[in-house]
Structure 1
Amino acid sequence: MNQVCAAMPKVKAIGHNQSAQTGYRDRITVPACFAFLSDYETLAHNALSIVATAGTHNEEAMLVSHEREKMINAIIYFANHTRHLGKIKLFKLLYLLDFEHFRQTGRSVTGLDYRAWKFGPVPVALEQEWEEPEADMAQAIRIEPERVIDYVRETVAAQTEFDDSHFSNRELRIMANLAEQYRDELSHRMIDVTHAENGAWARVWNGGRGFDQPIDYAMSLRDDDPHRAAILEFAREHQALVQANQTTRG
């Protein structure tokens, strides 16, 4: 936002922000170009900017670890609020969640990266973990093989309660909408949804020539989106902080 918003007028301060994790307290002045974000998410952006200015990464370290927690809890949520939740349907729901949230805010919910495979977008890190989940994943969910006509569906079942403590209202709202919209859909219908003509997957897949290529989150944004430049600038700053934090911790 430094480049996009620097010359833009400010709106009035909206109050104080208190971080439960850090105790940081600051009065927020919101750039007008971020009026499309909720107060909660604008405060989150402000907190990340403060971290960058201060040269520390405590807040970003918290964010990275919470992406893992949010991914697991998103799986729990979809397991509790949809039917026929096999691996293919789950992967499609996570993709729709992440890309819709990025389209609105410039960041994903789970931090997963997706690649173009034959049956749609695949979060490769989760795919690689599927057969031998880490301890936190294994505690939260179980995979139940279920015979469905001529194939075995790997149905996802929740083992722990859904924890919404790290989600914004926007993230919860998108999850709820997706669960309601696709509650009873089978995996082949979900494939049709993510294979939509001229969609992000279709453009990368390109008749198979783009197999295993990454699907850029920026493809969720229309060229004529009035907030496109601001959202992409936010995404670049967020990614820079993530990379800086990884370097510091590495």
Structure 2
Amino acid sequence: MGMIIDHEREKLIESVKYFAQKTKKLGKVKLFKLLYFLDFTHFRDTGRPVTGLEYFAWKMGPVPKELFDELGQPGVDWQGNCAFRWVKTAKGDMLTVNALSEFNPTHFSKRELRLLRELSAEFRDADAEQMVEETHLENLPWHQIFEVEGRKQAQIPYLMSLKKQDYEFMLDSVRDRDLIVSKLRN
């Protein structure tokens, strides 16, 4: 019996392949930031992430801890899709990501594909340091969790991708719904 791969996992693997094909200098740090922007921007616009990864506020920015741990020993579903190799650079060893097969767009919506294209174009030539700077900007979720709240290594909630007024509206809507449901039950 084959391994069951869910839709989000397929999207993760294909997203990594896409970024490997469409950007330069794709290492672990840059990859994590691109995935973060993909997921958090899509969540802000639609209410759901693309890959379903959970991100944590680490010193270098948002990190999908599960993927970070996995890259030490990538699972069989990466075989034939991506290669992760350590290379020596002037700044030390870097885990690089290379695509081994063509990107398959069939798993993605038009909005997701547009977002992949936009992020790849915007950060095509960026290096890890530039990517870190982009995720550390004030008012972004990582900055709020890590710097303002001092909750180092804490999970970054997707709801933080929403603008403050949208977030508050959503909370009020949930409270209103819960209030209505509780009144209907009584």
Do both share a fold (TM > 0.5)?
Answer: yes
CA–CA distance in 2 between the matches of 1:118 and 1:189? 14
Q: Deviations over 1:37-68 (max 9, x none)?
A: xxxxxxxxxxxxxxxxxxxxxxxxx9x81100
Task: Say yes or no: does 1:222 pair with 2:163.
Answer: yes
Aligned to 1:136: 77
Q: 1:173 aligns with which of 110, 114, 138?
A: 114
Kindly indicate which of the two structures has a greater share of residues assigned to strand. 1
Q: Deviations over 1:124-174 (max 9, x none)?
A: 110110111110013311112222213122110011211111100000000
Give the superposition deviation at 1:77.
Answer: 0.0
Q: 1:119 aligns with which of 37, 43, 60?
A: 60
Q: 2:99 aligns with which of 145, 158, 167?
A: 158
CA–CA distance in 2 between the matches of 1:182 and 1:112? 20
Higher relative contact order (CA 8 A, sep 6+): 2
**Alpha carbons 2:54, 2:64 under 8 Å: kept:** yes
Q: Amino acid of the residue matched to residue 195 of structure 1?
A: H
CA–CA distance in 1 between the matches of 2:73 and 2:157? 27
Give the superposition deviation at 1:207.
Answer: 6.2
Unaligned 5+ segments in structure 1 are 1-61, 234-250
> Aligned to 2:79, what secondary structure does the other structure show?
helix
Q: 1:108 aligns with which of 43, 46, 49?
A: 49
Please give the TM-score of this superposition, normalised by the length of structure 2.
0.85
Q: Amino acid of the residue matched to residue 165 of structure 1?
A: T
Give the superposition deviation at 1:224.
Answer: 2.5
**Alpha carbons 1:95, 1:121 under 8 Å: kept:** yes
C-alpha RMSD of the superposition: 2.2
Q: 2:16 aligns with which of 35, 60, 75?
A: 75
Aligned to 2:7: 66
CA–CA distance in 1 between the matches of 2:91 and 2:132? 18
**Alpha carbons 1:205, 1:211 under 8 Å: kept:** yes
Unaligned 5+ segments in structure 2 are 175-186
Aligned to 1:32: none
Please give the TM-score of this superposition, normalised by the length of structure 1.
0.64
**Alpha carbons 2:159, 2:167 under 8 Å: kept:** no
Q: Structure 2 vs 1, CA of residues 212 and 229 (structure 1 numbering), >3 Å: closer, same or farther?
A: same
Give the superposition deviation at 1:226.
Answer: 9.4
**Alpha carbons 2:85, 2:96 under 8 Å: kept:** yes
- Compare CA radii of gyration and give the structure with the larger one: 1
Q: Structure 2 vs 1, CA of residues 154 and 226 (structure 1 numbering), >3 Å: closer, same or farther?
A: closer
Percent of pairs with identical residues? 42
